[in-house]
């Protein structure tokens, strides 16, 4: 691509953003998103940071804690997941955690500076009995003053309403990738079923946490379609986690090469430009990211991270490293999701 072509593309994008400064867009075409990926990284990051500052305070990042309340033995065959019962990994199936253990971990997370506590369970879909146990966890965590999030698999409409009744703030259910590539990484559920759960969550009045995973062998066109699918929902997800694949021995994606860092930053920047009022969450894969790469992600509009030594069952960047990086970058903890909230 020539310099003049880059400039022309940049001008087109700038005009599009300028025309929509007061309105969030819900009509992105995949071609438009693909054009954004063609921009120079510096242009993308500049635009994303400017957009980010219209909705969020600068130099603030929310700390979130994600624990597994029910580990392993999942009947789904997600090719990236060590908790799938289809694969032989180091993750063993366990029973659901007791309420007192969840509360202990939530208190520790709060004391270490987290303002959001997320609970994940390796289920295809929870039984009503299991859901009641999670609702008790949600109520307890909220009483500690923490924002709550759960990811439990597919939900029925009544289950989404029950979670809302318990006071759940966010429900996470990622699209993972494009609809076209979806069957290449999961065969035990459909893309439509994921969207159905997201719609139940939205209908119940729970904030939606929905994003994807990069580096599973998908093409740039798949990443563009994923972002368009997210941004063209009736309402943008309030939370958009962007994960970098962690290849795990024993899963079908164990030999997947590491995803390109520049493409990763570009995807975060584009997500911020398309969904400016959403919290873009720098999620799985941070343990292997350099400090410089993480700094670029924050500059591109990421404003939340998961903290602690473990992220569900995967290793995560520890508190010592995170605290040191924040100090060097001049970043402070953000306990609010959006300016004015």
Find the CATH number of the domain harbouring 172. Answer: 3.20.20.70
pLDDT tens profile 132-171: 999 999 999 999 999 999 999 999 999 999 999 999 999 9
From the list 260, 265, 333, the residue with the least C-alpha distance to 299 is 265
Task: Tell me what the mean pLDDT of segment 26-53 comes to.
Answer: 96
pLDDT at 307: 84
Task: Tell me what the mean pLDDT of segment 47-65 comes to.
Answer: 94
What value does the mean pLDDT of the chain take? 89
pLDDT at 107: 94
Q: Report the distance separating Cα 291 and Cα 294, nearest Å.
A: 5
The pLDDT-based confidence of 174 (bands split at 50, 70, 90) is: very high
The pLDDT-based confidence of 248 (bands split at 50, 70, 90) is: very high
Query: Is the pLDDT score of 182 beyond 80?
Result: yes
Residue 187 inside a domain? The answer is yes
Residue 3 inside a domain? The answer is no
Residues 65/116, Cβ–Cβ less than 8 Å: yes
pLDDT at 219: 97
The pLDDT-based confidence of 72 (bands split at 50, 70, 90) is: confident
The pLDDT-based confidence of 86 (bands split at 50, 70, 90) is: confident
Residues 318/289, Cβ–Cβ less than 8 Å: no
pLDDT tens profile 108-136: 999 888 999 999 998 999 999 999 999 99
Q: Which residues participate in catalysis according to the annotation?
A: 74, 78, 81, 118, 149, 209, 281
pLDDT at 18: 47
Segment holding 106, helix H or strand E: helix 99-111
pLDDT at 132: 96
Tell me if the pTM is above 0.75: yes
Residue 12 inside a domain? The answer is no
Neighbouring residues of 15: CB distance < 8 A, sequence distance ≥ 6:
none
Beta strands 239-244 and 212-214: pairing type? Answer: parallel
Least confident of 93-107, 154-168, 251-265, 323-337: 323-337
pLDDT at 99: 96
The CA dihedral of 25, 26, 30, 34, to the nearest 10 degrees, is: 20
Residue 191 inside a domain? The answer is yes
Residue 125 inside a domain? The answer is yes
Q: Which domain range does residue 275 map to?
A: 30-333
From the list 230, 227, 226, 216, the residue with the least C-alpha distance to 184 is 216
Task: Tell me what the mean pLDDT of segment 57-74 comes to.
Answer: 91
Residue 327 inside a domain? The answer is yes
The pLDDT-based confidence of 84 (bands split at 50, 70, 90) is: confident
Q: Report the distance separating Cα 337 and Cα 207, nearest Å.
A: 12
The pLDDT-based confidence of 338 (bands split at 50, 70, 90) is: very low
pLDDT tens profile 265-278: 999 999 999 999 99
Q: Tokens 């008790």 map to which residue?
A: 136
Residue 208 inside a domain? The answer is yes
Residue 317 inside a domain? The answer is yes
User: What is the count of structural domains for the chain?
Assistant: 1
């Amino acid at each position: 691509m020539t310099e003049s072509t880059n400039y022309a593309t940049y001008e087109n994008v700038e005009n599009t953003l300028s025309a929509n400064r007061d309105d969030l867009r819900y009509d992105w075409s995949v071609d438009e998103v693909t054009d954004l990926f063609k921009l120079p990284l510096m242009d993308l990051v500049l635009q994303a940071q400017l957009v980010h500052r219209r909705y969020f305070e600068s130099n603030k990042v929310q700390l979130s804690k994600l624990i597994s309340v029910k580990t392993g033995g999942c009947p789904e065959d997600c090719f990236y997941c060590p908790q799938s019962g289809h694969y032989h990994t180091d993750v063993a199936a366990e029973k659901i955690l007791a309420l007192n253990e969840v509360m202990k971990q939530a208190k520790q997370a709060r004391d270490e500076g987290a303002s959001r506590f997320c609970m994940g369970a390796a289920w295809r879909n929870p039984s009503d009995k299991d859901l009641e146990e999670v609702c008790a966890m949600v109520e307890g965590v909220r009483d500690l003053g923490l924002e709550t999030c759960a990811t439990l698999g597919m939900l029925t409409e009544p289950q989404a309403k029950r979670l809302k009744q318990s006071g759940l703030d966010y429900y996470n259910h990622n699209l993972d990738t494009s609809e076209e590539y979806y069957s290449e990484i999961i065969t035990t559920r459909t893309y439509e079923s994921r969207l159905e759960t997201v719609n139940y969550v939205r209908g119940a009045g729970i904030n939606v946490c929905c994003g994807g995973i990069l580096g599973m062998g998908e093409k740039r066109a798949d990443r563009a379609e994923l972002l368009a699918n997210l941004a063209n929902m009736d309402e943008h997800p309030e939370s958009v986690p962007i994960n970098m694949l962690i290849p795990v021995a024993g899963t079908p994606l164990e030999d997947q090469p590491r995803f390109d860092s520049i493409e990763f930053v570009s995807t975060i920047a584009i997500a911020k430009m398309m969904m400016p009022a959403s919290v873009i969450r720098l999620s799985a894969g941070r343990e292997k990211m350099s400090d410089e790469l993480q700094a670029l992600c924050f500059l591109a509009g990421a404003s939340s991270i998961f903290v602690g030594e473990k992220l569900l069952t995967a290793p995560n960047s520890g508190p010592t490293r995170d605290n040191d990086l924040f100090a060097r970058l001049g970043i402070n903890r953000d306990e609010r999701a959006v300016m004015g909230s």
